[in-house]
Amino acid sequence: MRCNILIIIFCSLISCTNKENNLVGEWVFVTGSSNDIPTFTKENNRRKVFQEDGVFYVFSDSAGGEKITMEGMFKMLDGQHFRENIGANTTAIYKFKIKSDTLKFEGKLEIPSKQEGFKTVLVKEKWVRKK
């Protein structure tokens, strides 16, 4: 009986420390909004790559054909939330859900503003996993 309890505790500890980060991979932008206004409507081929080391990249092509690249850091907060840091002072905390190969997230992006200190933007986005 005592041995079974130790095995259960051990397995629980292993599962807590060995959680797979299901955000990791490449995603293709489907739709999104900031403060209920559609976003990235003039960009093409918008992709987001989450790496296992906590770095993410966003790649896209502007309407004029210019390549756009953005880099930031992300951290899983729990199984439903992650934080993004973009630059020194821009952060966001998103609640996300992945169903099949579709990622949906929403949250508050805090952008530094000289007039307001920080400007809060409500973000909602939908992405699909690149195959």
- Structural domains in the chain, CATH included, are 21-129 (2.40.128.20)
- 27 near 48, Cβ under 8 Å? yes
**pLDDT per residue as tens digits for the range 19-28:** 467 999 999 9
Residue keyed to tokens 């296992």: 52
pTM attached to this predicted model: 0.80
Taking the C-alpha atoms of residue 128 and residue 131, their distance in angstroms, rounded to an integer, is 9
Give residue 131's pLDDT: 84
Residue keyed to tokens 């995603």: 27
Residue 76 class from Cβ within 10 Å (0-12 exposed, 13-18 middle, 19+ buried)? middle
Find the radius of gyration of the CA atoms of the chain. Answer: 18
